[in-house]
Amino acid sequence: MSPSASSRLRIITAMVIFGTIGIFRRYIPLDSSLIALVRGVVGTAFLLLVMLLTRTKADRAAICRNLKLLVISGAAIGINWILLFESYRYTSVATATLCYYMAPIFVMLLSPVVLGQRLTKLKMICVGVALAGMVLVSGVLENGGGGFRGILLGLGAAAFYASVILMNQFIRDIPAYDKTILQLGSASAVLLPYVLLTVNFAAQALTPMAVLMLLVVGVVHTGAAYWLYFGGMKNLPAQTIALLSYLDPVVAIVLSALLLGEPMTLLTGVGAVLVLGATAVSEMKQ
């Protein structure tokens, strides 16, 4: 398997894992920001443990070369999570999701300027089709939206998500373990003061099932998934990563319908087909 094909497989696998997090979130009766902090801490600890058990040594030279961008991009992940959580408070989930998945559009538009990557006509058409599909998947046309503050927060989250994708294009020659640990650790450091200031810890209900689900989210959906995600970035252009990112919400919508019995309308199904089709066409025409 070629390096680019392997990287695509890693990104796609990560997107599928990310898309299942909503299923597990349903069984964790804690504030979203607290869950995010725990997943960051657990994910970082898990990867450190794996490195310890496998006797994998950190590449200190590579870390030093990329330290500034690793910390900044990790902090951007934390801020991205915070803005998204706040967006959910001020607008509908559908509207917040739609705003958040403007991130691939931002990457597409900025990559020619920031990275010098050519934006082909086909890529522009594919991203337009994917965005149209995302509008249908979000359900915003059927359920309505609203909440200008929530919209701005969602777009802010999208901007930071896009910045993470773009910054990772400049982080080079560093093992995936080192890269992921530094970025998740930085995200956790940003989340900690936010959680301490906003979460009512007395109101949190930590059941045995919640602990189990938190461990799964921390180990699988954070440690393993971000290791795959960041490791797959190195051999792919930012535009490809942006388009593959649309697989996350499609998987989430389909699984919620199949496993949780949540309604999936005809428009949602059409939107999912548009997103997957646009992504497939873009990748086949590389």
For residue 62, the model assigns a pLDDT of 93
What residue type is assigned to position 188 of the chain? S
Fill in the DSSP letter of residue 260: S
Residue 114 burial (10 A CB sphere; 0-12, 13-18, 19+)? middle
Separation between Cα atoms, residue 76 and residue 174, nearest integer Å: 19
Instruction: Write out pLDDT tens, residues 153-167.
Output: 988 998 999 999 899
Pick from 47-61, 121-135, 142-156 the range whose average pLDDT is largest: 47-61
Question: Is 124 or 93 the better-scoring residue by pLDDT?
Answer: 124
140 — pLDDT class (breaks 50, 70, 90): low
Domain assignments of the chain as residue spans, ordered by start: 3-284
What is the pLDDT confidence band of residue 93, given thresholds at 50, 70 and 90?
A: low
Q: Where are the alpha helices (DSSP H) in 139-265?
A: 140-143, 148-168, 176-198, 208-218, 225-232, 238-244, 247-259
Q: How many CA atoms lie within 13 A of 239 on its CB side?
A: 25
Give 3's pLDDT tier (boundaries 50, 70, 90). confident
Q: 23-55: per-residue pLDDT in tens?
A: 887 788 888 889 889 999 999 999 999 999 989
- What region, left, alpha or beta, does residue 171 occupy, with left being phi > 0 and alpha being psi -120 to 50 degrees? beta
Give the confidence band of 285 by pLDDT, cuts at 50, 70, 90.
low
Residue 138 pLDDT grade (very low, low, confident, very high; cuts 50, 70, 90) = low
**The pair of three-digit structure tokens given for residue 183, joined into one six-digit string:** 């970025």
At residue 65, the pLDDT reads 94
| 76 vs 118, higher pLDDT | 76
Give the lowest-confidence range in 121-130, 133-142, 243-252: 133-142
Q: What is the mean pLDDT of residues 249-276?
A: 78
Which tokens go with 218?
Answer: 């921390």
CA angle 19, 22, 265 (to 5 degrees): 80
Q: What is the pLDDT at residue 149?
A: 84
The pLDDT-based confidence of 241 (bands split at 50, 70, 90) is confident
pLDDT band at 70 (very low <50, low <70, confident <90, very high): very high
pTM above 0.75?
yes
